[in-house]
Amino acid sequence: MLNSLNLRRAALAAATALALVMALALAACNKEKTAGDVMAEVNGKKILRSEVDKYYANQTAGTPQPPAAEQAQSLRLSILRELIDNEIMMQRAEKLGLLATDEEVEAKFNEIKSPYTQEDFDKRLKTRNITVEDFKRDLRRSLTVDKVLNKEIKSKINISDTDVKAYYDAHKAEFNLVEPQYHLQQIVVTFHPDPRVRNLKNSKAQNEAEAKRKIQELVNRLESGEDFATVAMNWSEDPQTASNGGDMGYMPESALKGNPDTTTRSAVLSLKPGQVSSVLPAVDANTRQSYGYRIVRLESKETAGQRELSDPRVLQSIREQLRGRREQLLKEAYYEAVRDDAKIENYYAEQILKDSGK
């Protein structure tokens, strides 16, 4: 009887041990499969290799040669880190009830798509190796993250009058203009279309004759009372300034007087605030060759001297700067905090470390 009992116990122990070995083997097998198909998990939500590969293809499209092995791994790690952060924020947004709606995504999609023809938009997606569904998914993430940050960070930032005064007192010299400053806007039309140009009307002159006709049409629009910044955003072909209404920022008088393009220099220096120049040649500063036409507007002229804190422009500048700094700091702290709250498993990073030890 005792021997029979011992035999049953031994058999049970053996069966248990076998089951444990099989379970461990299965877990190891699943771990290997996870490491291959799933690059990371955030609170159990998988981030697939196919998703990382899609962004990798997007970011390396058009490069003359593929990145070297270690560069490729580094880029994939960077992409994976961003996807992990996005997933954390999406899960956070779901808890807060801040996920972007289908209506919000569709409205933003149509806004971005509107300046392009269907053919041109499809071509741009193809160049980036993404589909419309991919694009809308990214929009949903972006809009959702913005909603979370607006609620959790931006809405809580308060820049007090005391903060502004303290900054002004510590940086008073920054608001002392040693020479007059000219705040300029421009509209540019070129003889040869630049592939980087993107105005809201998708308008590009193809040659000198078209450029001449187009610049005259824009002059007519301005003379009929259309807003300069709106015309610039719609039609200007300058890749640096078209998107922000042709704004060139402030230019010191010495830079204007030192401009080798005497025609533009004389025209701008003679303008009064609010005035628009005649059509001027657009001249390359390096080659001194004309590449198109330009219209310049003087938004304002700042005389030399100390700007006081009572100046509304000084107040606005300081508030924007302080808000931007505080927002950046709080964003970084917020991301660190939500990462600490999440359970993250980065299988790809683990695999790289494992492979480096071989």
Of 257, 240, 258, the C-alpha closest to 249 is 240
Question: Is residue 260 within a helix (H) or strand (E), and if so which, with residue range?
Answer: none
CATH number at residue 45: 1.10.4030.10
Neighbours of 74 (CB within 10 A): 13
In a domain, 13, yes or no: yes
Threshold 0.75, pTM exceeds: no
Q: What is the pLDDT of residues 202-258, one digit of tens each?
A: 788 888 988 999 999 999 999 888 899 989 988 999 988 998 889 998 899 998 888
Show the tokens assigned to 128: 């980036």
Residues 193, 131: one domain? no
User: If 0-12 CB within 10 Å is exposed, 13-18 middle and 19+ buried, where does residue 190 land?
Assistant: buried
User: If 0-12 CB within 10 Å is exposed, 13-18 middle and 19+ buried, where does residue 203 land?
Assistant: middle
In a domain, 217, yes or no: yes
Whether the Cβ atoms of residue 189 and residue 215 lie closer than 8 Å to each other: yes
In a domain, 317, yes or no: no
Residues 141, 198: one domain? no
Whether the Cβ atoms of residue 250 and residue 182 lie closer than 8 Å to each other: yes
Residues 75, 186: one domain? no
Residues 116, 242: one domain? no
Residues 99, 186: one domain? no
Whether the Cβ atoms of residue 38 and residue 349 lie closer than 8 Å to each other: no
The parent domain of residue 45 ranges over 8-152+343-356
Structurally, how many domains does the chain consist of?
2
Distances in Å between the Cα of 117 and the Cα atoms of 120, 129, 203 are: 5, 18, 11
Show the tokens assigned to 282: 């657009």
Residues 207, 290: one domain? yes
In a domain, 337, yes or no: no
In a domain, 31, yes or no: yes
**Residues facing residue 305 across a β-bridge:** 177
Residues 130, 243: one domain? no
Residues 194, 96: one domain? no
Residues 45, 99: one domain? yes
CATH number at residue 293: 3.10.50.40
Q: Do the bridges between strand 344-346 and strand 280-283 make them parallel or antiparallel, or are there none, so unpaired?
A: unpaired
Residues 227, 96: one domain? no
Q: Is 303 left (phi over 0), alpha (psi -120 to 50) or beta?
A: beta
In a domain, 22, yes or no: yes
Which residues of the chain are under the pLDDT cut of 70?
1-36, 62, 194-197, 358
Q: What is the pLDDT of residues 108-147, one digit of tens each?
A: 999 888 877 888 888 888 877 788 998 899 899 999 999 9
Residues 85, 20: one domain? yes
In a domain, 174, yes or no: no
Burial 97-133 (b: 16+ CB within 10 A, else e): ebbbeeeebeebeeeebebeeeeebeeeeeebbbeee
Residue 283, phi then psi, degrees to nearest 5? -115, 135
Neighbours of 96 (CB within 10 A): 13
pLDDT of 218: 93
**Residues facing residue 187 across a β-bridge:** 295
For the chain, what is the mean pLDDT?
Answer: 85
In a domain, 320, yes or no: no
pLDDT of 68: 85
Distances in Å between the Cα of 307 and the Cα atoms of 169, 174, 178 are: 12, 9, 11
